[in-house]
Structure 1
Amino acid sequence: MPKRRKYDEAPPCAIVATLNLINGRWKGVVLYYLLTKGTMRFNELQRHLPGCTPRLLVKQLRELEEDAFITRTVYAVVPPKVEYALTDEGRTIGPILLQLNEWGAGWLERRGLRQKTARAA
C-alpha cells in the first residue's frame, strides 16, 4: 500500500492540488527536461540538475512515477539500463511548464540577470 501524502484528500482548491503534485525542488525541472528532450536515463537527468544529489533525484523520480507523471522502464542488461519518460498525464502539464519557463526567462531579463534573447514568433 502506498504511503499517504497530504494531497490524498480533496484539497480546498485546484491550485493547491496542482502545487502539491509538482511540489519538490526538482520535480518541475525533471518534468521540463523530459518534456523538451524526451526519454532520458538517470545520469542524463542528473547532468541537467547540478546540485541535486542522486538520492534526492531518486526520491523525486519515485514520487513522479507514483503520481503517474512519468514511467520508469528497466532493461535487463548489464550494466542495468533505466529510462524515464513522460506519461500521457505528464504531457498534460507540459504547456504550463513551458509558460512557467517563458515567464521565468522574462523575469530574469527584467532584473538584468539574463540577457534578452530572441523569441520565436
Structure 2
Amino acid sequence: MNKDTMCPIEYGLDVFGGKCKSRIICVLSFKDNMRYNEIKKYLGNITDAVLASMLKELIFDDMVSRKQYNEIPPKVEYSLTNRGKTVIPILQNICVWSRKQTKNNLSKKLPPCINCPL
C-alpha cells in the first residue's frame, strides 16, 4: 500500500508494529541508554540481521536515537527519542488487552518480557 494513502492505524503499525520493533521499544524504555549487545540479550531469540535492520528503521522513523562515541573500542548507545516514548502507553495497553483476550494462559506459551510490569 502506498504510504500516502495509509490510514492512521496503518501508519502507526508500520512505524512500531514491524518484526520485533515493539519489543525493542519496550526494552529501551527501561533504561536511558543501552548498547547493542545489551538490547540483544534482553530480546533473546533475535538475529543480528533483524536487530540491526529494525534499529535502522526505528532510527529513520525518529523513534530511537543512536549515539556513537569516538573511542576505541567503538561505543554506540541507543535510546528512545521523545517520540518513541509516546508509544509506550499504547504498547502497554496492547499488552493488557492481549493478556485478557487470550484463551490460553499466555505466560505458559510466551513469558512476559523480563522487565514487563504487566
Across the aligned residues of Structure 1 and Structure 2, the Cα RMSD in angstroms comes to 2.2
Q: 1:33 offset after TM fit, Å?
A: 1.0
- Superposed structure 1 runs of 4+ greater than 4 Å apart: none
Q: Does 1:78 align with 2:54?
A: no
1:99-118 C-alpha deviation (Å, 9 max, x unpaired): 1222334445x522427xxx
Q: Which amino acid aligns with 2:16?
A: I
SS in 1 for 2:107: coil
SS in 1 for 2:30: helix
SS in 2 for 1:89: helix
Structure with the greater alpha carbon radius of gyration: 1
How many residues are aligned here?
Answer: 109
Structure 1 stretches lacking a partner, 5+ long: none
Q: TM-score, normalised by structure 1?
A: 0.78
**1:66 aligned partner:** 60
* Match 2:107 to one of 95, 108, 114: 114
Q: Which amino acid aligns with 1:92?
A: T
Q: Which amino acid aligns with 1:94?
A: I
Q: Does 1:43 align with 2:37?
A: yes
Structure 2 stretches lacking a partner, 5+ long: 109-116
The more displaced of 64-73 and 29-38 is: 29-38
- Distance, in Å, in 2 between the alignment partners of 1:111 and 1:20 is 28
Q: TM-score, normalised by structure 2?
A: 0.80
The more displaced of 75-84 and 96-105 is: 96-105
Q: Percent identity?
A: 32
